[in-house]
Amino acid sequence: MKFSLTTAIDYTNGAPHIGHAYEKVLADAIARYHRLKGDDVFFLTGVDQHGQKVQQSAQKQGVAPSEFVAGITAKFLALWKTLDISCDAWAATVEPVHKHCVQAMLQLLWDTGHFYKSKQAGYYSVRQEQFLTDKERGPDGEFGPEWGEVVLIEEENYFFKLAAHRQWLLDLIDVRSAAGTPFVVPDFRVAELRNAVEKLSGDLCISRPKSRLEWGIELPFDKDFVTYVWFDALSNYVSFAGYDPTPGADNSLFHSRWPALHVIGKDIMVPPHGIYWPIMLKACGFADADIPTLLVHGWWNIAGSKMSKSEGNIVDPAVLAETFGVAATRYYLLSDIATGRDSDFSEERLILRYNTDLANSLGNLLNRTLSMAKRYRSGILKKSDSPLAAFVAEKCAAYSRRMDAFEVHAAIESTWEIIVRCNAYVEESAPWKLAKDPASAEKLDEVLYSLAEALRVVSILITPIIPESAAAIRSQLQWDGPLSIARCEWGLLADGHQLGDPVPVFPRIERE
Ligand code: MSP
């Protein structure tokens, strides 16, 4: 089966933070799981490099926008490499292939009558270079000092006939939900989106006059304008998947990678991904079956409030990975938040979860299993029946159901139930006693085989979560068979299998 997924592309107007890292790691875990299932995965992520904010940040630093975005893009790329993000393609919106696609989409929509030119009048903040709406008014009804001088201006722009597709989108949302393949996951977001679509009345301004924004993609039919950054950014999902809107173009590669699952944060569901994007695709001629699915995740907050530059509470994931390691960082970001919900970031929690789940539970299990096997049997296993086999199979099934539903945190819980069960099994069966009694030799073989086999299965299950540690465990088990979910099947360690020596994979984090 094909399985395509994308993440939001990150703005290059500031450095990456843990919110960005969470989304990439979440998508990466899902992508890796689908590779384990044998799916043909296409995983796209990237950076959103155009727009007003970037132009302003570049100006402040006195560098060209292209130079500015190149610097920040390099930081994102380095971070994704550090965090083992296994993307198959990289979307950087300054790329010519993207510009070509966006311009062809704009031209197609212009030629087919989806755009019109019109005068827009409204309050405009000169300092922030943007139109203001009533949302920006303070409690006293005035625009606050942060907006600087506010003037009433009139400007010509191009508009996309968005509202014309309101009913189509409502129907799509309902049909998809009824069919059990909702447009938005988790379920509770569907109502939120539906309400927003119900209220949709206006059209979307898709242009910006170059007189106020130059750092963007030029409208192919009017060189005095660039396109609105969201039109540009959303299109990355198709432009970097090989879509060519030119009439008659060969789109077979694109169709092999489409439709995709879009992994995005809750702040960008309404309106861009939930309203603009499906309508843009529909207007470009996409069939309903080719409208993607949105996986909407929640936010990492700091002590209950939003992370922001002005609060000075931004957590840098590169520093986390450097200080605590990649496994600790990935494991924490994936296990301590329920997909769709918010969570509070805390370094103490990260350390606690690492020490408890990785160093103590899993690390100890691996260490004691390999040590005992070495001490009592020179590391050689005797294939036996196991009292753990059924339990492990049941947890593997739960893991798959949960991963299929993108509930990565819950799939991790299923995995740790195996680990916890194994540790209890060690205590119950007390191999150190069995080893003293020749009559218990068979029982000892059964315990050692069961533990090694469970660890082998666990090493597959944690591959999407902490791939490097999973590989390290397999290497100590000396099991290098092909990796797949199907190979979680019990009993694949052969009779006479030789285990390796124990080497700590998860050294405890000690904090003074
Ligand atoms: N550039 C747009 C997306 C364009 S997609 C065609 C954008 N960029 S962003 O850098 O602001 O955010 C990128 C992603 O990170 C978004 O999905 C956003 O929801 C997510 N997060 C930003 N802050 C976050 C947290 N504090 N926690 C979790 N995710 C958060 O929006």
Secondary structure of 357-404 in the HEC alphabet? Answer: HHHHHHHHHHHHHHHHHHHHHCCECCCCCCCCHHHHHHHHHHHHHHHH
Phi then psi dihedrals of residue 328, to 5 deg = -60, -40
Instruction: Tell me the average pLDDT across 394-411.
Output: 98
Ligand 1 midpoint to CA 69 (Å): 17
Distance (Å, whole) CA 355 – CA 363? 9
In this structure, how many other beta carbons lie within 10 angstroms of the beta carbon of residue 413? 15
Q: Is the CB of 19 under 6 A from ligand 1?
A: yes
Ligand 1 midpoint to CA 218 (Å): 25
Q: Please, which pLDDT band fits residue 280 given cuts at 50, 70 and 90?
A: very high
Instruction: Tell me the average pLDDT across 291-315.
Output: 92
Q: Which of 5, 7, 10 to mutate to test the pocket of ligand 1 (most atoms within 8 A of CB)?
A: 10
- What pTM was estimated for this model as a whole? 0.97
pLDDT at 312: 86
Q: Is the CB of 311 under 6 A from ligand 1?
A: no
Q: Is the CB of 67 under 6 A from ligand 1?
A: no
Phi then psi dihedrals of residue 286, to 5 deg = -70, 140
Ligand 1 midpoint to CA 101 (Å): 23
Instruction: Tell me the average pLDDT across 226-230.
Output: 96
Ligand 1 midpoint to CA 398 (Å): 30
Ligand 1 midpoint to CA 16 (Å): 10
In this structure, how many other beta carbons lie within 10 angstroms of the beta carbon of residue 291? 18
Indicate which residue's Cα is closest to atom 21 of ligand 1: 19
Q: Is 152 helix (H, G, I), strand (E, B) or coil?
A: strand
Q: Is the CB of 23 under 6 A from ligand 1?
A: yes
Indicate which residue's Cα is closest to atom 10 of ligand 1: 10
Instruction: Tell me the average pLDDT across 495-508.
Output: 98
Q: Is the CB of 267 under 6 A from ligand 1?
A: yes
Instruction: Tell me the average pLDDT across 82-101.
Output: 98
Indicate the burial class of 255 (C-beta count within 10 angstroms; 0-12, 13-18, 19 or more): middle
Prior bond of 259 cis (ω within 30°): yes
What percentage of residues in the chain have a pLDDT greater than 70?
100
Q: Which of 7, 18, 22, 23 to mutate to test the pocket of ligand 1 (most atoms within 8 A of CB)?
A: 23
Q: Is the CB of 8 under 6 A from ligand 1?
A: yes
The 10s digit of each residue's pLDDT in 115-166 is 999 998 889 887 777 788 888 899 999 999 989 889 998 999 999 999 999 9
Instruction: Tell me the average pLDDT across 63-74.
Output: 98
Q: Is the CB of 102 under 6 A from ligand 1?
A: no
C-beta of residue 177 within 8 angstroms of C-beta of residue 184:
no
What percentage of residues in the chain have a pLDDT greater than 90?
91
Phi then psi dihedrals of residue 6, to 5 deg = -135, 160
Q: Is the CB of 234 under 6 A from ligand 1?
A: yes
Pick from 285, 319, 318: which is nearest to 114 by CA?
Answer: 285
Q: Which of 75, 264, 276 to mutate to test the pocket of ligand 1 (most atoms within 8 A of CB)?
A: 264
Report all structural domains of the chain as residue ranges with CATH numbers, in order of start: 1-93+298-345 (3.40.50.620), 346-488 (1.10.730.10)
Distance (Å, whole) CA 69 – CA 49? 6
Query: Range with the lowest mean pLDDT among 48-52, 235-239, 308-312?
Result: 308-312
In eight-state DSSP terms, residue 137 is B
Helix, strand, coil % over all residues of the chain, rounded to 5: 50, 15, 35
pLDDT at 235: 98
For residues 349, 353, 359, 360, the Cα torsion angle rounded to the nearest 10 degrees is 120
Residue type, 218: E
Distance (Å, whole) CA 158 – CA 228? 10
Q: Can you tell me which atom of ligand 1 is nearest the CA of 306?
A: 26
Q: Please, which pLDDT band fits residue 309 given cuts at 50, 70 and 90?
A: confident
Instruction: Tell me the average pLDDT across 231-236.
Output: 98
pLDDT at 247: 85
The 10s digit of each residue's pLDDT in 18-49 is 999 999 999 999 999 999 999 999 999 999 99
pLDDT at 442: 98
Residue type, 499: L
Ligand 1 midpoint to CA 269 (Å): 10
Q: What residues contact 377, with CB distance under 8 A and at least 6 apart?
A: 444, 445, 448
Look at residue 6 and tell me whether its pLDDT is greater than 90. yes
C-beta of residue 330 within 8 angstroms of C-beta of residue 84:
yes
Mean pLDDT score of the chain = 96
pLDDT at 303: 86
Phi then psi dihedrals of residue 504, to 5 deg = -55, 125
pLDDT at 131: 84
The H-assigned helical ranges of 405-493 are 408-429, 431-434, 441-461, 467-477
In eight-state DSSP terms, residue 276 is I
pLDDT at 120: 85
Look at residue 74 and tell me whether its pLDDT is greater than 80. yes
